[in-house]
Structure 1
Amino acid sequence: MSSVRILGIDPGLRVTGFGVIEKDGNQLRYVASGCIKSNDKASLPTRLGTLFAGISEVIETYRPDQSAVEIVFVNVNPQSTLLLGQARGAAVTALVHGGLSVAEYTALQVKQAVVGHGKAAKQQVQDMVVRLLSLAGSPSSDAADALACAICHAHGGQGLGALATAGYRVRGGRLIR
């Protein structure tokens, strides 16, 4: 079986994390990770353009075969949710423009796949990413979340609507029987 390169994205308007891994059979290998940062003082269209260009550059550099993106849920502040949704839209557009299929995962699905339960703390996710990918150090929280999204996809998920977990369904962002 040939290896598959997966790009995970943790969208954000200020900081978007990315993580690239390779899956070869049951083995996962770290390729790269980092953050794409936009200028807080720039206009919204400029910031979205920076995000699009940054993800396009990651695609060109690492040539992933598949992509996975974390789904944005409604926050307490509707304006923040709207801005985050626009950042996510720019990220998804860059992935599709780069010729990639896009799988989407809730934060609960990602945490469940990486840590084993959907209510894991950010530090637990970071620690498990380090263990699963045998990293020498801990990536930033945004990069770790992106790597976790890629790991979730590598563990057999195919995104919402195509979960590879027969007999389960999603309710309230959780997998249930």
Structure 2
Amino acid sequence: MQQARKRILGVDPGSRKTGFGIIESGRFNPNYLISGVIRVEKYSGAQRLKNIYQSICQIIEQYQPDVLAIEKVFVYKNPKSAITLGQARGVILCAAAMYDVPIMEYTPTQVKSTIVGKGHAGKTQVQFMVQNLLKLTEAPQEDAADALACALCHDRYMSLGIDPEVMSKGSKF
């Protein structure tokens, strides 16, 4: 029985640049729809958050994703950076909640392990694998590639019937 295709919005949150990417799920062949980067570095404070929120809302309205896959925040050495990133992530989660889009969270290690095979893969490796998995003619921008990798990670987990919460506790597949 063919599983219904789902649109997955992957997001790589950032306080200056937020990557996004949308794929349609498929057990053997996820399809690329769109990706890009929301750039807010020229704004300050609350205006950045507002622009991220509005941009994510516009993407959700236009593409009607079935789920949002987002990277979990990991602990930074700089607490101020962690707080700033947490704020950006918060407005993204709020936008998804406003449109009743379910949210799935993955650690950067989960995403990289799933896409590249190594939990500490570099940005170039992620870009290369995303380009190959989605059969793109060129590598996406770094932040967009990270977002697409998050969407691909969710697609992989769901196609295998794996609960991401169980995997985040250290299990391997």
TM-score (norm. length: structure 1): 0.88
2:69 matches 1:68 = yes
| Partner deviation per Cα, 1:97-129 (whole Å, 9 max, x = no partner) | 121000000000000110111011110000000
CA distance change for structure 1 residues 157 and 72 in 2, over 3 Å: closer, same or farther?
farther
2:146 matches 1:131 = no
Q: 2:141 maps to which residue?
A: 140
Letter in 2 for 1:141: E
**Counterpart-to-counterpart distance in 1, 2:43 and 2:168:** 42
Letter in 2 for 1:148: A
Deviates more, 1:82-91 or 1:20-29: 20-29
Unaligned ranges ≥5, structure 1: none
Letter in 2 for 1:96: A
**Counterpart-to-counterpart distance in 2, 1:93 and 1:3:** 25
The size of the alignment, in residue pairs, is 169
Asked if structure 2 preserves the Cα contact closer than 8 Å seen for 1:156 and 1:164, the reply is no
**Counterpart-to-counterpart distance in 1, 2:102 and 2:19:** 18
- Return structure 1 stretches of 4+ with deviation > 6 angstroms: none
Q: 1:8 maps to which residue?
A: 10
2:111 matches 1:114 = no
> Within 5 Å, which residues of 2 pair with 1:133-172?
133-156=134-157, 162-163=163-164, 170-171=169-170
**Counterpart-to-counterpart distance in 2, 1:76 and 1:169:** 22
Q: 1:99 maps to which residue?
A: 100
Asked if structure 1 preserves the Cα contact closer than 8 Å seen for 2:7 and 2:24, the reply is yes
2:21 matches 1:22 = no
CA distance change for structure 1 residues 176 and 30 in 2, over 3 Å: closer, same or farther?
closer
Asked if structure 1 preserves the Cα contact closer than 8 Å seen for 2:7 and 2:23, the reply is yes
TM-score (norm. length: structure 2): 0.90
Asked if structure 1 preserves the Cα contact closer than 8 Å seen for 2:109 and 2:119, the reply is yes
Q: 1:89 maps to which residue?
A: 90
| Partner deviation per Cα, 1:3-27 (whole Å, 9 max, x = no partner) | 1110000000110000000013322
- Which of the two has greater helix per residue? 2
Asked if structure 2 preserves the Cα contact closer than 8 Å seen for 1:157 and 1:164, the reply is no
| Partner deviation per Cα, 1:39-69 (whole Å, 9 max, x = no partner) | 4343x11111100000001111111111100
**Counterpart-to-counterpart distance in 2, 1:38 and 1:94:** 17
State the shift of 1:2 in Å: 2.0
Instruction: Give identity over the alignment, percent.
Output: 43
State the shift of 1:176 in Å: 5.1
**Counterpart-to-counterpart distance in 1, 2:46 and 2:63:** 26
Asked if structure 1 preserves the Cα contact closer than 8 Å seen for 2:9 and 2:67, the reply is yes
RMSD: 2.0
